[in-house]
Structure 1
Amino acid sequence: MPALLPPLRNVRGSLLALGLAGALAIPLCAPASATGPGGPPGGPPGGPPGGSHGGPPAGGPAAPRPSTATGENVANPLLTGPIANTSPVGSPKHGYPFLATDVDLRSAGYVEQEFFVSGTATSYATRGTDTATVVSTGNPYRTRLVVRRPADARAFNGVVIAEWYNVSNQWDQEVDWFQSHEHLIREGYAWVGVSAQRAGVHSATGLKAWSPARYGTLDVTAGGTVDDDSLSYDIFSQAVKAVRGSTGKTGPLGGLPRPRYVIATGHSQSAGRLANYYNAVQPLANVLDAVVLHGGGGVLRTDLPTPVFRVNSEGDVSGGILPAAARAQADSAILRSWEVAGASHGDWKLIRDYGPLRKRDVGSYPGGYPGEPQTCALPSLSRIPQHMVQNAAYDHTLAWIAHGVLPPAAPKIQMTDAAPPAIARDSLGLALGGIRLAQQEAPLRINTGTNTGPGFCFLDGSSLPLTGAQLAQLYPATRSYADKVVATTLADVGAGYISRSFTRDPAWYSDIRDLIGEYVASGAVTEAVGATLQDRLRHAERAGLAGDEPPAIAHLRQLAERAGKQIKDATARDGVLRVTQALADLLTEARKLDQHKGH
Structure 2
Amino acid sequence: MPISPWRRVGLVTAALALLAPNAVPASATAAADPVPRVVGPLPGTAPGDRLAERIEDTHPFFSTPVDLAASGYVEQEFHLSGLADGWSAAGARVADDVPYTTRVVVRRPARARDFSGTTLVEWQNVTAGYDLDALWNADSVVRAGHAWVGVSAQRVGAEQLRGWSPARYGNLDVTGGGRFPADELSYDIFTQAGRAVDLGTVMGGLRTRTLLAIEASQSSARMAILYDRVLPQTSPVFDGYAFVVGAAPTRAGAEPVFQVQSETDVRSAQRPADTDRFRRWEVAGAAHSGYEGQAYRAPISERDLGGAPEYACDRPPFSRVPMHHVTAAAYEHLRAWVQRGTPPPTARPLEFEADGVTKKRDALGLALGGIRLSQVVAPIALNTGDNTGEAFCRLFGTHEPFDGPTLSRLYPNPASYLGPVVSTDAANVHAGHLLPADARENLRDAVASGIGRPAHHGGGS
Could you state the TM-score of these two structures normalised by the residue count of structure 2? Answer: 0.89
Equivalent position amino acid for 1:340 in 2: V
Q: CA deviation at 1:235?
A: 0.5
Secondary structure, in 3 states, of the residue corresponding to 1:276?
A: helix
Q: CA deviation at 1:455?
A: 1.1
**Residue pairs, 1:289-300, within 5 angstroms:** 289-300=239-250
Which whole-Å deviations, capped at 9, do the CAs of 1:380-409 have from their partners, x for residues lacking one?
000101111110000000000000111000
Unaligned runs of 5+ in 2: 14-31, 53-57
- Counterpart position of 1:208: 162
- Counterpart position of 1:329: 272
Answering whether residue 216 of structure 2 is matched by residue 264 of structure 1, we say: no
Equivalent position amino acid for 2:456 in 1: A
Equivalent in 47, 70, 78 of residue 89 of structure 1: 47
- Counterpart position of 1:522: none
- Counterpart position of 1:69: 7
Answering whether residue 238 of structure 2 is matched by residue 288 of structure 1, we say: yes
- Counterpart position of 2:120: 161
Answering whether residue 135 of structure 2 is matched by residue 135 of structure 1, we say: no
Answering whether residue 137 of structure 2 is matched by residue 192 of structure 1, we say: no
**Residue pairs, 1:510-589, within 5 angstroms:** 570-572=454-456
- Counterpart position of 1:429: 365
Equivalent position amino acid for 1:138 in 2: D
- Counterpart position of 1:99: 62
Measured in 1, the distance between the counterparts of 2:388 and 2:364 equals 19
Q: CA deviation at 1:503?
A: 4.4
- Counterpart position of 1:306: 255
Is the 2:106–2:147 Cα contact (8 Å) retained in structure 1? yes
**Residue pairs, 1:141-156, within 5 angstroms:** 141-156=100-115
**Residue pairs, 1:428-447, within 5 angstroms:** 428-447=364-383
Secondary structure, in 3 states, of the residue corresponding to 1:69?
A: helix
Answering whether residue 226 of structure 2 is matched by residue 234 of structure 1, we say: no
- Counterpart position of 1:388: 325
Secondary structure, in 3 states, of the residue corresponding to 2:7?
A: coil
Is the 2:220–2:244 Cα contact (8 Å) retained in structure 1? yes
Q: CA deviation at 1:571?
A: 4.3
Measured in 1, the distance between the counterparts of 2:236 and 2:358 equals 38
Equivalent position amino acid for 1:262 in 2: L
Which whole-Å deviations, capped at 9, do the CAs of 1:246-271 have from their partners, x for residues lacking one?
1xxxx311032x21111000110111
Which whole-Å deviations, capped at 9, do the CAs of 1:264-292 have from their partners, x for residues lacking one?
00110111111111112222231110000
Answering whether residue 135 of structure 2 is matched by residue 173 of structure 1, we say: no
Answering whether residue 339 of structure 2 is matched by residue 398 of structure 1, we say: no
Equivalent position amino acid for 2:132 in 1: Q
Measured in 2, the distance between the counterparts of 1:272 and 1:103 equals 29
Specify the structure having the higher radius of gyration (Cα).
1
Which whole-Å deviations, capped at 9, do the CAs of 1:349-389 have from their partners, x for residues lacking one?
0100111111111122133xxxxxx6111110001011111
Is the 1:90–1:360 Cα contact (8 Å) retained in structure 2? no
Which whole-Å deviations, capped at 9, do the CAs of 1:416-442 have from their partners, x for residues lacking one?
112x62111011110000000000001
**1:83–1:508 CA distance, 2 compared to 1 (3 A):** farther
Q: CA deviation at 1:91?
A: 3.2
Equivalent position amino acid for 1:336 in 2: R
Q: Which structure ranks higher in relative contact order (CA pairs < 8 Å, sequence separation ≥ 6)?
A: 1
Is the 2:429–2:439 Cα contact (8 Å) retained in structure 1? no
Measured in 1, the distance between the counterparts of 2:134 and 2:446 equals 21
Unaligned runs of 5+ in 1: 5-63, 319-323, 368-373, 517-559, 565-569, 580-599
Equivalent position amino acid for 1:223 in 2: G
Count matched residues.
434
Secondary structure, in 3 states, of the residue corresponding to 1:192?
A: strand
Which whole-Å deviations, capped at 9, do the CAs of 1:71-97 have from their partners, x for residues lacking one?
463311111111111x84153436111
Q: CA deviation at 1:573?
A: 6.4
Measured in 1, the distance between the counterparts of 2:343 and 2:258 equals 11
Measured in 2, the distance between the counterparts of 1:88 and 1:575 equals 40
Is the 1:160–1:262 Cα contact (8 Å) retained in structure 2? yes
Equivalent position amino acid for 1:277 in 2: L
Measured in 1, the distance between the counterparts of 2:374 and 2:445 equals 15
Equivalent position amino acid for 2:396 in 1: D
Is the 1:438–1:484 Cα contact (8 Å) retained in structure 2? yes
Is the 1:351–1:366 Cα contact (8 Å) retained in structure 2? no
Equivalent in 218, 224, 231 of residue 172 of structure 2: 218
Which whole-Å deviations, capped at 9, do the CAs of 1:561-582 have from their partners, x for residues lacking one?
xx97xxxxx3426979xx9xxx
Measured in 2, the distance between the counterparts of 1:155 and 1:88 equals 24
Could you state the TM-score of these two structures normalised by the residue count of structure 1? Answer: 0.69
Measured in 2, the distance between the counterparts of 1:465 and 1:227 equals 45
Measured in 1, the distance between the counterparts of 2:50 and 2:273 equals 50
Secondary structure, in 3 states, of the residue corresponding to 2:357?
A: coil
Answering whether residue 78 of structure 2 is matched by residue 115 of structure 1, we say: yes
Equivalent in 399, 414, 424 of residue 351 of structure 2: 414
Answering whether residue 317 of structure 2 is matched by residue 360 of structure 1, we say: no
Measured in 1, the distance between the counterparts of 2:359 and 2:290 equals 18
Secondary structure, in 3 states, of the residue corresponding to 2:343?
A: coil
Identity in percent: 42
Q: CA deviation at 1:175?
A: 0.5
Measured in 1, the distance between the counterparts of 2:99 and 2:396 equals 38
